[in-house]
Amino acid sequence: MSSRWRLVLVIALAFVAFMLAATGHGRQLRKEREAHGYLQMDPVQGWPPAMHEIWQLDRARLGAGTAVAAVLGAGAALATGAGLGMAALAVLLWAPTLGFFVAGALSLVRLWAHDATAAMATLPAAALLFGLALIALVGSLVLGRVRRDAAAA
């Protein structure tokens, strides 16, 4: 496989991981909202106070987790000589994927604390989405590493 196609595959897998993690995170927030008795949201009326607190906490954790992962990912890419392209990929796709993954997992934990039955009902779909996201992310990371090793040889 040429290095150009390998790079396309790395980016495609990273994008798939990002989309799966974002979908899983959004699904978990919806299930959490429904467990609190809010089956639908009206954007004009805004969030109820209880859900607004959960949403703000979730956004803060998502932002902080993404920022930490971006700094660590870019630092690791540059420190290992992977180059600016891999550092950009770490910041733009891998870090947000990890942020969504962690925020979705924390939403599942909050749901479990609020309503264990609802958490058990959502667990198979959450495990599937986050599991596939993790597989795609690891595949992207491994192929990105192989690409760098092949270029160095």
Q: Is the pTM of this model over 0.85?
A: no
| Cβ–Cβ < 8 Å for 129, 27 | yes
Domain ranges across the chain: 3-152
- Angle at 48 (CA atoms; ends 59, 63), nearest 5 degrees: 5
Q: Would the pLDDT of 22 be above 90?
A: yes
Residue 61, judged by CB atoms within 10 A of its CB (0-12, 13-18, 19+), counts as: middle
- Six-digit token string for 102: 């962690």
State residue 1's pLDDT score.
62
To the nearest whole number, what is the mean pLDDT of the chain? 87
Percent of the chain with pLDDT over 70: 94
Share of the chain above pLDDT 90, in %: 45
Under the banding of pLDDT at 50, 70 and 90, the label for residue 74 is very high
